[in-house]
Homo-oligomer: A and B are copies of this chain.
Amino acid sequence: MAETPKLDELVDVDAGTISREIFVNEEIYRQEQERIFARAWLLVGFESQIPQPGDFVASSMGEESVILCRDRAGAVHVFLNSCRHRGMKVCRYDEGNTREFLCPYHGWSYATDGTLVGVPHQKDAYGAQLDRSRWGLVEAPRMCRYKGTVWASWDPAAPPFLDYLGGYALYLDLLLDAWDGREGGAEAIGGVHKWLVPCNWKFPAENFSGDRYHGVSHRSVDMVGIGPSGKGRRDMQERNEARSLDVTFPDLGHSMIAFLRPPDAPLAPAYQDSPAVGEYFRYCEEERRRRRGAHWRLFGGPGTVFPNASPLARQPRTIAVWHPRGPHQTEVWRWYLVDADAPVAVKDFLRHYYIRYSGPAGLTEQDDMENWGYAHAASRGTVARRHPYNYEMGLGRATRGFEDHGLALPGRIADIVPGTASENNQRGFYTRWRQLMGAASWAELA
C-alpha cells in the first residue's frame, strides 16, 4: 500500500481523481506519521500563551503530546512530553508556570530548558554510568517563532521555516498582521477549543485549504443569520466587490482563499450590529490603506499551511490545527484571534461572533463536522474504496504570475467567478502530500 508506484495510482491530481484509500487505509496513515508529521513544520501555539519565564502549555504535534515552554532565561522550547527513563508523561497539566518538570514515576526532573537536572540517588545508583547530557527531554530540533505563533519540526533536515512558508507568508500575514496594517499585532483570546471529530485529518485540512463550494452545508446559517451585521455568515459586500482568488503553492502544499478589492473600492459597510466596531474597522482600514500601499486591497479567507494548520484570516479570524488521532479520528484545536490593541468592546463583540460561528457549538461548523464524519464513514467500505473522489473542478484553469492593476501575487492562482468555486487549492494540497509521502528525506525533495 505504501510503495511509491501505488501512491501514484491513488493520487492523480492532473486527472482530478484521488482514491478514498488515502483517507481510510491504516498503512497509509502510519506512513503519514513518519513522512509528514514527523517531518513537516507544525503549529505548536502562541507566544502569548507563555509570556513569563517558566510558563508552559501542553500542545500536540501529530499524535504526540508536547510541551511548549519558556525557560527561566526566556528562551522558547518544544519538548516531547515523555520522560527519557520509562516514558512517563512528565506534564499532565494544560498550562502553568514551573521551575522544573518532575516525573512522577521515579523522580527524574528536567529544567525548563529540557536538561535533566535531577536524578534521585544518581551517585549511588548510577555512578559514572548515566550521562545526563544525553538524557534530557527530547526537544524538537527545529523551532521558529513567527509573528506570535510558534512552529516546530522533528526533522533536523527540514528547510528553514521561512523557506517552508515561501511565498505563502504574504497570505498567512493576512491573519497575523493587525488589520490596521502593522506587522504582527494579533493575539489569541484565552481559551482553546479542543474536540474530537470522527474523520480523517485531511477532510478538514482540504476543506479549509479552499472549499468555497460547500455553501449548501451552511444554508441553514445563511437563512438564520449570525454575521456581524446580523445577516448571513459574514459581511459580504467587500467580498462581492473583490476578485475571488484561490491561491495554492503545489510544491509547498499551502493554500488560501483570497480576495482582491478594486483599487478604487470605497470602504464597504460591515459590523453594522455595532457602531463602535464598525468605526474601529473603518479606522483600521484607512490606516491599512495608508500603510500597505496597493496591498491594502488583499484580504484572506480560509487556508491551510501544509499539512494541518488552517488559518481563517477574517470573519471569523481563527487558526485551527487538525491533529491526527488514528486514520478515523481527528482532534481539533482552535485559537481565536483579535488585534491586541483593539478596544475591549471590539474584542468582546468579535469573541461572541467567533463562538457562535466556529467550533463544535458554532452554528456554521456543526454542519461541517456532520459532513466530514459521514463522508469518512461512507468511504471505508470495500466497494466505496474502488471509487475515487472527484477533484476536477477548475482543472487547468489556474495561472502563475497573477497580476491586477500592477499588483502581482505569488502562487498558482485560480481567478474564479465570484460565488463559484474551484478545487485548485485541494489539488495543490495533495500534490505536496504526494511529494512528501513519496520522498525518503527532505534532501530528495530539494
Contacts and interface: CB of A to CB of B under 8 A. Distances in A.
Contacts of A217: 104-106
Contact of A105 (B62, B129, B214, B420): B214
Interface of A: 16, 20, 33-34, 37-38, 61-65, 80-89, 92, 102-107, 120-121, 124-127, 129-130, 135, 138, 154, 203, 211, 213-217, 367, 370-371, 374-384, 387, 389-390, 392-395, 397, 416-417, 419-422
Contact of A64 (B121, B124, B376, B383): B383
A11 B163 CA distance: 40
A393 B80 contact: no
A1 to B, nearest CB: 12
A107 B216 contact: yes
A37 B381 CA distance: 11
Given A217-B106, A390-B135, A82 B379 contact: yes
A12 B301 CA distance: 53
B82 A384 contact: yes
A138 to B, nearest CB: 6
A403 to B, nearest CB: 22
Task: Please list the 3 inter-chain residue pairs (A to B) with the smallest Cβ-Cβ separation, ordered nearest first.
Answer: A107-B216, A64-B381, A87-B379
B375 A37 contact: no
B34 A216 contact: no
Specify the main secondary structure of chain A where it touches its partner: loop
A126 B86 contact: no
Contacts of A87: 20, 375-376, 378-379, 384, 389
A383 B38 contact: yes
Given A33-B382, A86-B375, 6 more contacts: A61-B383, A62-B383, A80-B384, A84-B387, A88-B374, A135-B390
Q: Find the residue from A38, A65, A382 having the highest chain B CB count within 10 A.
A: A382
Contacts of A64: 378, 381-384
B154 A82 contact: no
A374 B89 contact: yes
A419 B63 contact: no
A393 B129 contact: yes
B213 A375 contact: no
Q: Find the residue from A126, A203, A367 having the highest chain B CB count within 10 A.
A: A126
10 contacts: A33-B381, A62-B381, A63-B382, A89-B378, A104-B217, A105-B371, A106-B214, A107-B214, A107-B215, A125-B213
Contacts of A37: 382
A65 B104 CA distance: 35
